């Protein structure tokens, strides 16, 4: 999202773990990608620099699976939310079928990870987007966002094609993976998904996500993980 918007709108761009890591003289026209709490200091920073805020939501189970897989290739996950995401090292080589993953997915660290979108989603002034909608129709969704920003994009189609899934699959930290909404249905048995849903019920409900029973066995889920993670 950051790359497409910055490229099509001619913006400088930054991706940081902490807004205090941004340049002191931040450019007037820029896009910043960050996962940070909706807290007063950050809100004042955004307001004083006249940022428009776009919040991206994704199914919480897909978020947790994505974080598990990404942590294997990107050590900087330890810096997420100043370490409060708390992905333990012994989980990184496990599958979403494992007891270790379920323990993490129902932990305070996972709650912190999910809470950022949950906090910003309450804010009536933000622009909201869903991962699933962008995958389904990127032209429509990015056009909607730039229209809400009152901007006239240049070469939006070209930017979307340039920053496609294969581009991110080929980065050193494998920032792209499957790009498939609802992947959790192939990787998390329903009994585990239900436990995670109950633990984070408020997040699911506010963001409009649900879970439905599947017949996925642990053996099939493990096979799917081995197939997809190679």
Cβ atoms 186, 49 nearer than 8 A: no
Q: Where are the domains of the chain?
A: 2-57+120-169, 60-118+172-228
Over the stretch 165-211, which tens digit does the pLDDT of each residue have? 888 788 787 788 888 999 999 999 999 999 999 999 999 999 999 99
C-alpha span between 124 and 159 (Å, rounded): 29
CB count within 10 Å of CB 25 equals 6
Q: Helix %, strand %, coil % for the chain, to 5? A: 55, 5, 40
Cβ atoms 61, 185 nearer than 8 A: no
Check pLDDT > 90 for residue 13: yes
Dihedral pair phi/psi, residue 161, rounded to 5°: -70, -40
C-alpha span between 129 and 177 (Å, rounded): 20
> What is the helix (H) or strand (E) element at residue 217, kind and residue range?
none
Which residues have CB under 8 Å from 46's CB, separation 6+?
53
Dihedral pair phi/psi, residue 173, rounded to 5°: -95, 15
Q: What is the DSSP letter of 126?
A: S
* Beta strand spans in 91-161 (E): 127-130
State the pLDDT at residue 199: 97
**Owner of token pair 């949950």:** 118
Cβ atoms 150, 58 nearer than 8 A: no
Over the stretch 86-128, which tens digit does the pLDDT of each residue have? 999 999 989 999 999 999 999 999 999 999 999 999 999 999 9
State the pLDDT at residue 76: 87
C-alpha span between 109 and 62 (Å, rounded): 16
The gap between the terminal CA atoms of the chain, to the nearest Å, is 26
The band of 63, judged by pLDDT with boundaries at 50, 70 and 90, is very high
The reported pTM is 0.92
Over the stretch 127-161, which tens digit does the pLDDT of each residue have? 999 999 999 999 999 999 999 888 777 788 898 98
State the pLDDT at residue 197: 98
> In this structure, what token pair is assigned to residue 209?
């996500």
């Amino acid at each position: 999202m950051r790359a497409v918007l910055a490229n099509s709108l001619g913006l400088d761009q930054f991706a940081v773990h902490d807004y205090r890591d941004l340049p002191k003289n931040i450019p007037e026209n820029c896009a910043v990608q960050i996962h940070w709490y909706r807290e007063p200091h950050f809100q004042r920073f955004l307001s004083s620099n006249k940022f428009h805020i776009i919040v991206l939501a994704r199914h919480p189970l897909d978020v947790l699976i994505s974080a598990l897989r990404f942590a294997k290739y990107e050590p900087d996950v330890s810096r997420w939310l100043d370490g409060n995401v708390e992905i333990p090292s012994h989980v990184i080589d496990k599958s979403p079928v494992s007891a270790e993953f379920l323990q993490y997915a129902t932990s305070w660290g996972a709650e912190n990870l999910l809470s950022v979108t949950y906090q910003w989603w309450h804010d009536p002034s933000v622009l909201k987007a869903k991962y699933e909608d962008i995958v389904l129709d990127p032209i429509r969704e990015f056009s909607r966002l730039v229209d809400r920003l009152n901007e006239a994009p240049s070469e939006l189609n070209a930017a979307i094609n340039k920053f496609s899934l294969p581009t991110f699959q080929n980065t050193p930290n494998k920032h792209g993976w499957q790009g498939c909404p609802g992947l959790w249905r192939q990787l998390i048995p329903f009994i585990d998904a239900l436990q995670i849903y109950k633990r984070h019920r408020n997040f699911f409900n506010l963001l409009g996500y649900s879970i439905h029973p599947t017949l996925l066995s642990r053996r099939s889920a493990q096979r799917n993980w081995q197939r997809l993670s190679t």
